[in-house]
Every structure is written in structure tokens, then in C-alpha cells.
Amino acid sequence: MITNARVLRPEYTPQDLHHREGQLDHLSSVLDPAGLDFAENICIFGPTGAGKTTIAKYTLRQLEQEAPNLRWGYVNCMTENTPAAVLHRIMREVRLGSDLKHEGTPMSEPVDRLRQCNAHIIAVLDEAAVLKERPLLALWEVPNVSLICITIDEDEWFTALSSKAKSRMQSATTVRMDSYSHAELVDILDSRVVHGLVGSRIGDGVIDYIADLAAGDARHAIALLRQAALHVEQHDMHRLTEPVVDAIADDATTEIRDQNTRSLGSHHRLLLRIIRDAGEIDGGTLHARYEDRAQSPKSRSTRRRYLRSLVRANLIERDGSTQDTRYRPLS
């Protein structure tokens, strides 16, 4: 059934992107190799599964072929969510910081190395809304560094930024992405089938059915296709049918939640663990237990930012007003 498992993996970046030509042209023009002496900054906004991370990585990999003086690095700010962790990850990604110690190195040292580098550096900050703005502002000051900041909710992010950071981020080039239409999801899935599966073993209407279930979320659609194909192989079945998709629907959801959980930093994990252990918990009790268990507790404003990111990752749900907030795990 599966001829190329790599095509079905969540981190796979396809050779061709479907239905994102406008955004690709926009990003490519902003990051034109002819103008890379001038740092451009970009914000990419859009819902989960709209292809935000994929389009950034795809554009930069294409750009590498035309601009030998370009280096770029990717960091998931859900995982690396302290200023030092973000800077050190970027330094390793752009091959400038293998000798830097994570602890005890002042922020000025990686920033100085970036400034002294002759290459143009592009730092991709995924889930940027989780991040404190200190590394944003530090990287912004380096003339040869460009930022690509990726997040879901534009208004929420800008509301949380200081006036200085907000002013700078609002001056960046903005790329807004919508959920995929049903027809667009079908095209994306058809491409994965062509490059990774035996198409003759997929029942009529199954790809349409998966696109309906995914409701515009390409990540969910690909997880459904992958889990269904694995189910067919593991059970020695001849065809991938709609009942197979129904049988694995919960597995696909669990797979995405597990991926989201693995990407969490330590403080995100602690908040999630407290909520899961309690089953349901009010905000005051959650913060009290967090402060009791965390070695170096984050501020309340940072914790609220982390909790919002857990909601966006579909790991918890939040009910109630500010004065009577309750949290429950999703499973």
C-alpha cells in the first residue's frame, strides 16, 4: 500500500506546493536574492493546517539554490521558548554556534556573532506568539538578519506585544493564509497518493471523504490518510475504504495531539500535566499548583500565553470568564 512513507510524514515538505502560488510569489519577491543586502521581515498568519510552516520552509529551500550567501534556521518556539534557547537554536541551525554553551552565555554573544557574519541570516520563528519579545527585538537590531514570524492569531499576538515590538512587527511584510477549500485539500491528498501510495487500492470517493472530515486542515487530512494506509497494511487489507477512515479517525486525532505534546517546552508540559491530572481545574488552583511545582515559575502573563497556546494546539479547552476560568484536557 505504502510506496514512500516519507511523503506521508508530518514534517515532509513537498516538491510542489498546491494552491499557495500567490503566497509563494509574495514571499519570493520579499526575499529576492538580488535584494538580500536589505533585511526584510515577514509575519505569516493563518489557522492550523493552512500550510504556514510548509510555505516558509519551501520558499527558503528554493531560495538557497539561488543565493549561496544565505543561511536560514528554524525554531519551534513551543519547544525552545526562552530567549537563550531561541538564540542558541538559531545559531546551531545557521552553523555559527556549535561551541556556544546554552547556560551562562550572555545574549550579546550570539547576537554579535550574527552581526559579524557575512551571510544573510533568516530566522524562522514558528509559534512566535509563545515567545517573549526580547529575542525578537535583539534579532531585529542585526542588519543582516531577517525574521519570519509564524503564528495563528494576529490580533492576539499584537495585543500581547509592547508598543515598541508591536510597531516593529506591524511594519513587517504580512502574509495571511486561509484554510484550504475542499477541492484544494483533495488536490493535496491526490498528490500524496501519487507519490506515496498505490492509488489503485484506494476506494472511490475516499479522498473526498477524508477532505470532508479534515474541514480545511491539511495537517489533519494527511494524518487521516497516513493512519488509514497504515491500517490497511497492518491488517493485510486490499482496499482503503471509508469504513477504514472511520476506524482510524480517533487515531489520527491522537497522533496530532501526541506530536503537539512532544513539541512542548518544560513549562507547557507542566501546565498540561497539572490539568490532565486534575481532569478539570479552575485557573486559581492551576496557577497555585504550577507555582508549587515549577523550579523557576514563569510570570502569570507568560503562563496565560502558554495556556492559550495549549488551547490552540487542541490539547486543552478553556471555559468561563477571566474571574472564573476552568481548564479541561482534550483526549
321/8: higher pLDDT: 8
Q: How confident is the model at residue 125 (pLDDT cuts 50, 70, 90)?
A: very high
The Cα–Cα gap between 294 and 284 comes to 15
Q: Over the chain, what is the mean pLDDT?
A: 89
165-175: pLDDT as tens digits:
888 888 888 99
In this structure, are residues 206 and 184 in contact, taking their beta carbons and an 8 Å threshold? no
Q: How confident is the model at residue 305 (pLDDT cuts 50, 70, 90)?
A: confident
* Mean pLDDT, rounded, for 254-261: 93
* pLDDT of 176 strictly over 70: yes
186/142: higher pLDDT: 186
Does pTM surpass 0.85? yes
Q: How confident is the model at residue 104 (pLDDT cuts 50, 70, 90)?
A: low
- Cell output for 299: 510570570
* Mean pLDDT, rounded, for 143-166: 86
* Mean pLDDT, rounded, for 245-259: 95
Question: Which residues does 273 contact at the CB level (< 8 Å), separation at least 6?
Answer: none
* Mean pLDDT, rounded, for 124-135: 85
The CATH code of the domain at 265-329 is: 1.10.10.10
pLDDT at 38: 60
Q: What ranges in 141-265 are assigned the alpha helix state H?
A: 154-160, 163-170, 182-196, 206-214, 218-234, 242-262
Question: Which residues does 23 contact at the CB level (< 8 Å), separation at least 6?
Answer: 55, 175, 177
pLDDT at 28: 82
19-176 under CATH 2.40.160.40, yes or no: no
Percent of the chain with pLDDT over 70: 96
Torsion of the alpha carbons at 101, 103, 108 and 110, rounded to the nearest 10: 30
Secondary structure E strands in the chain: 42-45, 70-76, 120-126, 145-151, 173-176, 281-282, 316-319, 326-329
- Cell output for 176: 495571511
Percent of the chain with pLDDT over 90: 56
pLDDT at 105: 67
pLDDT at 102: 62
Query: At the top level of CATH, which class does the domain 182-261 belong to?
Result: mainly alpha
The Cα–Cα gap between 327 and 331 comes to 13
**Three-state SS for 175?**
strand
- Cell output for 38: 536589505
264/39: higher pLDDT: 264
- Which residue from 175, 87, 100 is spatially nearest to 139, judged by alpha carbons? 87
> What are the boundaries of each domain within the chain?
19-176, 182-261, 265-329
Q: How confident is the model at residue 81 (pLDDT cuts 50, 70, 90)?
A: confident
In this structure, are residues 50 and 218 in contact, taking their beta carbons and an 8 Å threshold? yes
* pLDDT of 2 strictly over 70: yes
15-64: pLDDT as tens digits:
777 788 888 888 888 887 666 566 578 999 999 999 999 999 999 988 88
Amino acid at 284: G
What is the number of residues in the chain? 331
- Which residue from 222, 227, 232, 223 is spatially nearest to 200, judged by alpha carbons? 232
